[in-house]
Amino acid sequence: MTGDPYAHLKDNAWRELAEIDGRLERGDIGEAGWHEQVATLVVPAYLAATTPWEQSGQSGSRSDWEYSRSLIADAIDRGGTFLDVGCANGFLMESIVRWTPFEVEPYGLEIAPELADLARHRLPARADRITVGNAVQWQPPQPFTHIRTNLDYVPRPRRRGLVEHLRANCDRLIVGVFNEHETEHTVEEELRSWGVEVAGRSVRSNRRKRGMEYRVLWIDAQ
Ligand SMILES: C[S@@+](CC[C@H](N)C(=O)[O-])C[C@H]1O[C@@H](n2cnc3c(N)ncnc32)[C@H](O)[C@@H]1O
C-alpha cells in the first residue's frame, strides 16, 4: 500500500482512457459523456493532491515540474497574453510568468468547475481571467498572443477541429508538453497530415523514463 488512494488510477489511466475512447467509438456514450468520464479520472486525483504540481497532473518533485514543463517558455517569442487551456489549479499560469523573459499576462480555461474554483482561490488577483469551458466550443472574448493546449483534451476525431479553432484565436498555438518516445513523432506527423506547419519545437529527455522525451511544438497563425 502506498497510502495514495489514486495510485492505481495514475498507473492505469491509459487503460481507463482507452476504455472511454472505446465507449465513444461504439456509440455507448456521446462527447459530453466522454468529457464527463475523463473528468472522473482527473478531477478527484487532482483535488486530493497535496502539491501544486500534482494538482496540475505532474507527479514527482518540484524540480520534476520545473524540468518537465518549463520548455513551454521556449515557445514564447514576445510579450502579451497567454491562455493556458486546461489550467487545472493554475500552477502553469503562475509558473510561465517566471519562466519567460517576456512580460506575459496569463489566462486560464478549465473544463472542470471544481478545478477552476481551485485556480481562482489560489490566484485571487487573476480570478477574473479563469473561465470554465470546453476548449473546442469556447468562444474567446478576445484573441490571445499565445494559447497553450494538449491534443488529448478532446476525443480523437475532434483534435483537428481543436487545433483549427484555437489557432484562429491567437498569434501562436503551443501544443504540449507531451511525452513521446525519442524515435516517434506521432503528434507532429498528425499535425502535418492536417496540413499544419510546425513553426518550432523544444525537446528535453525524460529523466524518469528512459527513451522518452518531453516535447512542445508551436504553430503560427495562418
Ligand atoms: C494535465 S492538466 C494540465 C495542467 C497545466 N495546464 C499544465 O499543462 O501543466 C489538464 C487539464 O485540462 C483540463 N481539460 C481537459 N479537457 C479540457 C477541455 N476540452 N477544455 C478545457 N479544459 C480541459 C482537465 O480538466 C485538466 O485540469
Q: How far is the CA of 60 from the centre of ligand 1 (A)?
A: 18
CATH for 60-220? 3.40.50.150
For residue 94 the three cell numbers come to: 503562475
pLDDT at position 13 is 79
Question: Is ligand 1 within 6 A of the CB of residue 147?
Answer: no
> Cα separation of 156 and 169, whole Å?
21
Question: Is ligand 1 within 6 A of the CB of residue 54?
Answer: no
Going by alpha carbons, the residue nearest to atom 1 of ligand 1 is 57
pLDDT at position 12 is 58
Q: Is-contact 119 132, C-beta < 8 A?
A: no
pLDDT at position 5 is 46
DSSP string of 5-60? TTHHHHHHHHHHHHHHHHHHHHTSS-HHHHHHHHHHHHHHHHHH-SSTTGGGT--S
Question: Is ligand 1 within 6 A of the CB of residue 134?
Answer: yes
Q: Is-contact 219 168, C-beta < 8 A?
A: no
Q: Counting atoms of ligand 1 from 1, which one is nearest the CA of 43?
A: 25
- Least Cα distance to 136 among 151, 116, 146, 126 occurs for 151
Question: Is ligand 1 within 6 A of the CB of residue 92?
Answer: yes
Question: Is ligand 1 within 6 A of the CB of residue 72?
Answer: no
Q: How far is the CA of 21 from the centre of ligand 1 (A)?
A: 17
> Cα separation of 189 and 100, whole Å?
28
Can you name the residues that pair with 200 across neighbouring β-strands?
218
> Cα separation of 148 and 73, whole Å?
11
Question: Is ligand 1 within 6 A of the CB of residue 93?
Answer: no
Going by alpha carbons, the residue nearest to atom 17 of ligand 1 is 153
pLDDT at position 4 is 46
Q: What is the mean pLDDT of each run of 10 residues along the chain (222 residues)?
A: 45 82 96 96 95 94 96 98 98 98 98 98 98 96 97 96 97 97 96 97 93 96 86
Going by alpha carbons, the residue nearest to atom 5 of ligand 1 is 87
- Strands 212-220 and 200-205 come out as antiparallel
Give the residue ranges of DSSP H helices in 79-158. Answer: 91-99, 113-122
